[in-house]
Structure 1
Amino acid sequence: MSMHRVLATLGCALAAVLTTAGSATPPTQPDRPAASTLRTHAGVVRGAAHDGYRTFEGIPYAEPPVGSLRWAPPRPAAPWPGVRDATRPASACPQPAGEVPGGSTDEDCLHLNITTPDGAGPAHPRPVIVWLHGGGFTAGAGSSYDAHRMAARGDVVVVTVNYRLGALGFLAHSGLPGSGTFGLADQQAALRWVRTEIGAFGGDAHNVTLAGESAGGYSVCAQLASPAAAALFDRAIIESGPCTGRPDRPFAPSSVPLSTARATGADLAAKVGCGSARDVMACLRRVDVSRLLGAQDADQQPAFGTPLLPGDPAAAIAAGRFRRVPVLIGNNHDEGNGWAAGIIQAGNPVTPGTWPDVVSAFFPSPGQAKAIVRAYPVHRTDGGPVFGAVIGDANFACPTARTGGLLAAQVPVWRYEFADEHAPPLAPGTPPFPLGAPHAAELPYLFDLGGRPRDLTPAQHRLADTMIDYWTRFAGTADPNGPSSPPWPRQTVLSLVPDHIVPTRTTMSRHHCAFWNTLG
């Protein structure tokens, strides 16, 4: 079983999470919403007024990164004449087909979308949540996340952001300023835009929460560790993107040394015929986007050892070198089940006989593999869930617990575990075993993915409302607690289950974290 082949297959499978939830363009409304016009420093935008909220979509926060600006730090967007239509999202950043139907090759993608509740305005500014999408740093779009429930119920302004992805976002090359961090630089440019402009949309520029899930959550970790982002946000929400992820465990997002990123960049240049060019970067800037997408690795990570990201975020968090802001952080109970199901459906059964080889494919150290097989035995019918537990515990649950503990030594931290075992499925078809609460399962409780709500039971709707209350109160006050929700003590992990939201102290033991900490 080839690691690269498996991960490439799984990248496509997990992209279906949002593809099936709806495209990146919201569905057509039966009646055209009324217009809503506001002025920014770059020009006037006309958004749409809805029942209880307003939306402004496809607003540029940086110049299109095309031509000589491909693989250059983002530059502020140029002013525009007249009134800019902001009633529909702009293009997603270049990516293969998956979450974005048909993919995208449009580099003019550095745009953001704003959802603001009725009543918000310069005289009554609301807390701001800036959302960074997931997608393994290779896929995703801010417009996939319809935030109207969060904005209206939580009385907050929500900003969703596009940033450069894949090789266009994270290429590294010797002598190239910004190597390995262009996507992170885009996120910072969006945050600077928010600090300057969000007041016109009713947001409080001095109360900004940076939030994200998966690669978006890890991006929050990177921004916590980036000196350049120190003044750009005031709180942080990290969902299923533990800051202490590791490249040798390939499921959770992480970062890599600049030398590794440069080697990957050299491989890309060779694949597209630029490796021996006199001016490699000039050659690469002439390569068609679709060819770059076809040549890039399925797995992408930001580079550290750079001006934007001087050190590995994991090491920075462990050493206490990070932005001191309150943090809400958590993971899902069954993070690994989606990957395990995809690998099994790709023709790799997990049985007592195949289990040692499956483990060895992802943990090539013989000693580690044998220890994992002993700690997680597979019996006749439970191979899939056991494999899912290994992936989830090693890559998400235990790194999240470690990250939470390190952060809590320095700043206020609230920790959760989303554990609705009957969460609505995010991909079509019947999985080979029940997935429980897998990676990304919490997202439909906070957003209407693709502009279309998921089917939730009444109890799940109550959980969704409670989660939005927690998230938005945290954004407003740095404390998720309030009179209408079950108490959330800081010294525990809050288990998020419909009609049974309770603090727990058993997360570490339930996910075998002592074993993983010993394994190294």
Structure 2
Amino acid sequence: MKILVAALGLAGVLVGTPTGVTPTAGDQAVVTTHSGPVRGTVTDMVRTFQGVPYAAPPVGPLRWTAPRPAASWTATRDATLPGAACAQPPGLPVGRPSTEEDCLFLNVTTPRNARKVPVMVWMHGGDLAYGAGDIYGAARLAARGDVVVVTVNYRLGAFGFLAHPALGDGNYGLQDQQAALRWVRANAGAFGGDPRNVTLFGESAGGFSTCSHLASPASAGLFDRVIIQSAPCAADIAVPRAEGEARGTALATSVGCTDPATVAACLRGKATTALLDFPAPRPTIGGALLPLGASEALRTGTFNRVPVLIGVNHDEERLMVAGAELFPGAHPLTREEYPERVRATFGADADRVLATYPLGAQDSPGQRLATILTDHNWSVPALDTDKLLARHVPTYAYEFAERDNPWFAGAPSPSFPVGAAHVSELAYLFDATYAEPLTPAQRHFGDEMIGHWSRFAHTGTADWPRFTGQQGYVRSLASTGPHRADFARDHRYDFWTCLDR
């Protein structure tokens, strides 16, 4: 992810009784939540309320504690601007540099005259280290889909995922997400939403967070369906608690907090900037919040059973390979380097991989490497995840396969087409602040994408058959028209499953 940063050059509340909160009469810009009234922005199509606190600021002695209820207010609170992004380093275009820890805010976008419509709660991606809810403008999704959309900030990096024997299991970011979901159950009715029809959805790190909520007993009852984008639960990113605590101990040591008797106070006394570079933040498995990882929970059937819409992008890894070649001082992968990279990644299995993915005379080495990594890292675990879910819940599988997609605004282009790379689908669902604007044709396709997502939120079903059995239906989503993807063959599923045995 940090390669991509430089390459692109771009800089809990308790559940209340939903009927206890009602829309404020007379002024559509004002809504009364359980904590107090907020004034947002009204357009012809939607009402938007930004920077609404859903939990108390996790600062000072509340750093690395479970989220507490937000303080109430009586005067109408301005909700026309987003709240601060959670602390994160500069870099990713899907992020926002910040040193602010008072950041537990959410944003609500609702159709102007909504009456008990479904609610969709978005958890952003960004490797659990970058991102903010307001990066994902939800006006099109709310208006066209007739849904209330809630986008959420949650603690990132060390502030959200530092596990340490003196602090706990480190899943504070996931606890923030649970607090936001409880806020939605309590307050959705005030915005014209149906608090008993909540779809949790997320992409990449937000999608893997959604996998964790499927696995977490503490998340039971907080949502009614899920959409998981580019986050196959079978490729679980969570780590055992011992590994998480080892990472946390290493960070504590690096900032001079080594005395077991004072390490918690020492860490809480450190400046925000001293803790921003926590590497590869991950949820930890083994505590009360996440007793099992998502992969094991699905395998054993011990997860929160709700309908699932789930998929990956056809060319996920082209984004990562493109980032590597655009890094300052780097260059596109050469034909000589291609086998070296494959051998470095797959070791003793490299010859079989190279034989299965030969580099043709006209092939781009970078694009070919991305195909290998997409199949191994994303497509195979995606199909495994579909099979595990389909044993227990209605499961609708898709592959985003659109070829011509918005790139990052102002960023250079790589040496090969990026196709349906990681994050490519987001510009069709949201007005993503980092992406190039949609063309008219792309906007039309975006309307189709919004239709698929919102239909699932309304009904718990998709426009295509459920995934069942070993050769379940996977819908290809592209502007060329709907059809069944030949997913297993296209991504060499049999080769990889045999190789990994």
Fold in common (TM above 0.5): yes
Residue 323 of structure 2 is matched in structure 1 by: 342
- Give the C-alpha shift of residue 273 in structure 1: 1.1
Greater CA drift, 494-503 or 106-115: 494-503
Among 103, 107, 110, the alignment partner of 1:109 is 103
The answer to whether 1:306 aligns with 2:299 is: no
Among 160, 168, 189, the alignment partner of 1:169 is 160
Paired residue secondary structure (1:191)? helix
Distance 1:35 1:344 in 2: 50
Check 1:112–1:291 CA distance in 2 against 1; reply closer, same or farther (3 A cut).
Answer: same
Distance 2:195 2:8 in 1: 35
Distance 2:47 2:7 in 1: 33
Check 1:342–1:361 CA distance in 2 against 1; reply closer, same or farther (3 A cut).
Answer: farther
Check 1:180–1:259 CA distance in 2 against 1; reply closer, same or farther (3 A cut).
Answer: same
CA contact (8 A) 2:407 2:436 kept: no
Please tell me the residue identity of whatever aligns with 1:198.
A
Among 405, 414, 419, the alignment partner of 2:401 is 419
Among 442, 448, 452, the alignment partner of 1:470 is 452
- Give the C-alpha shift of residue 362 in structure 1: 3.3
Paired residue secondary structure (1:334)? coil
CA contact (8 A) 2:164 2:248 kept: yes
- Give the C-alpha shift of residue 361 in structure 1: 3.5
Please tell me the residue identity of whatever aligns with 1:166.
G
Residue 374 of structure 1 is matched in structure 2 by: 355
Residue 514 of structure 1 is matched in structure 2 by: 494
Greater CA drift, 45-54 or 372-381: 372-381
Distance 2:331 2:495 in 1: 26
Among 42, 49, 63, the alignment partner of 1:49 is 42
- Give the C-alpha shift of residue 101 in structure 1: 7.3
User: How many correspondences in the alignment?
Assistant: 476
The answer to whether 1:142 aligns with 2:142 is: no
1:351-500 to 2 correspondences below 5 Å: 351-363=334-346, 366-380=347-361, 381-426=363-408, 428-450=411-433, 454-458=437-441, 460-481=442-463, 487=464, 490=467, 491-500=472-481
CA displacement, residues 413-470 of structure 1 (integer Å, 9 cap, x when unaligned): 1111111111122351121111111000000110001298722242x22221111111
Distance 1:276 1:15 in 2: 40
Among 223, 236, 250, the alignment partner of 1:267 is 250
CA contact (8 A) 2:34 2:187 kept: yes
Check 1:386–1:107 CA distance in 2 against 1; reply closer, same or farther (3 A cut).
Answer: same
Q: TM-score, length-normalised on structure 2?
A: 0.91
The answer to whether 1:75 aligns with 2:100 is: no
- Give the C-alpha shift of residue 349 in structure 1: 4.5
CA contact (8 A) 1:257 1:304 kept: yes
Distance 1:325 1:399 in 2: 20
Distance 1:282 1:489 in 2: 51
Residue 180 of structure 1 is matched in structure 2 by: 170
Check 1:453–1:53 CA distance in 2 against 1; reply closer, same or farther (3 A cut).
Answer: farther
Greater CA drift, 432-441 or 443-452: 443-452
Paired residue secondary structure (1:244)? helix
Distance 1:455 1:206 in 2: 34
Distance 2:95 2:453 in 1: 30
Among 267, 283, 286, the alignment partner of 2:269 is 286
User: Which consecutive unaligned segments of at least 5 residues does structure 1 have?
Assistant: 1-6, 20-33, 247-253, 482-486
The answer to whether 1:240 aligns with 2:268 is: no
The answer to whether 1:10 aligns with 2:4 is: yes
Distance 2:33 2:219 in 1: 22
Check 1:355–1:101 CA distance in 2 against 1; reply closer, same or farther (3 A cut).
Answer: closer
* Percent pairwise identity: 47
CA displacement, residues 168-193 of structure 1 (integer Å, 9 cap, x when unaligned): 1000011423x221100100000011
Greater CA drift, 489-498 or 58-67: 489-498
Please tell me the residue identity of whatever aligns with 1:456.
T
- Give the C-alpha shift of residue 276 in structure 1: 3.6
CA contact (8 A) 1:352 1:379 kept: no
CA contact (8 A) 1:61 1:189 kept: yes
Please tell me the residue identity of whatever aligns with 2:271.
D
Please tell me the residue identity of whatever aligns with 1:208.
V
Distance 1:275 1:64 in 2: 27
- Give the C-alpha shift of residue 512 in structure 1: 1.2
Distance 1:127 1:420 in 2: 27
Distance 2:113 2:434 in 1: 23
Please tell me the residue identity of whatever aligns with 2:206.
G
The answer to whether 1:315 aligns with 2:275 is: no
Task: Provide runs of 4+ in structure 1 moved above 6 Å.
Answer: none
User: Which consecutive unaligned segments of at least 5 residues does structure 2 have?
Assistant: 12-26
- Give the C-alpha shift of residue 518 in structure 1: 2.1
CA contact (8 A) 2:118 2:147 kept: yes
Distance 2:41 2:359 in 1: 54
- Give the C-alpha shift of residue 269 in structure 1: 0.5
Greater CA drift, 261-270 or 353-362: 353-362
Paired residue secondary structure (2:235)? coil
Distance 1:102 1:409 in 2: 40
Check 1:224–1:12 CA distance in 2 against 1; reply closer, same or farther (3 A cut).
Answer: farther
1:56-67 to 2 correspondences below 5 Å: 56-67=49-60
CA displacement, residues 36-69 of structure 1 (integer Å, 9 cap, x when unaligned): 0011111110111012100000001110000111
The answer to whether 1:209 aligns with 2:171 is: no
Paired residue secondary structure (1:176)? coil
CA displacement, residues 206-236 of structure 1 (integer Å, 9 cap, x when unaligned): 0000000000011110000000001100000
Greater CA drift, 274-283 or 155-164: 274-283
Please tell me the residue identity of whatever aligns with 2:427.
P
CA contact (8 A) 2:53 2:104 kept: yes
Residue 23 of structure 2 is matched in structure 1 by: none
Among 185, 188, 194, the alignment partner of 1:198 is 188
Residue 229 of structure 1 is matched in structure 2 by: 219
- Give the C-alpha shift of residue 372 in structure 1: 2.1
Paired residue secondary structure (2:437)? coil
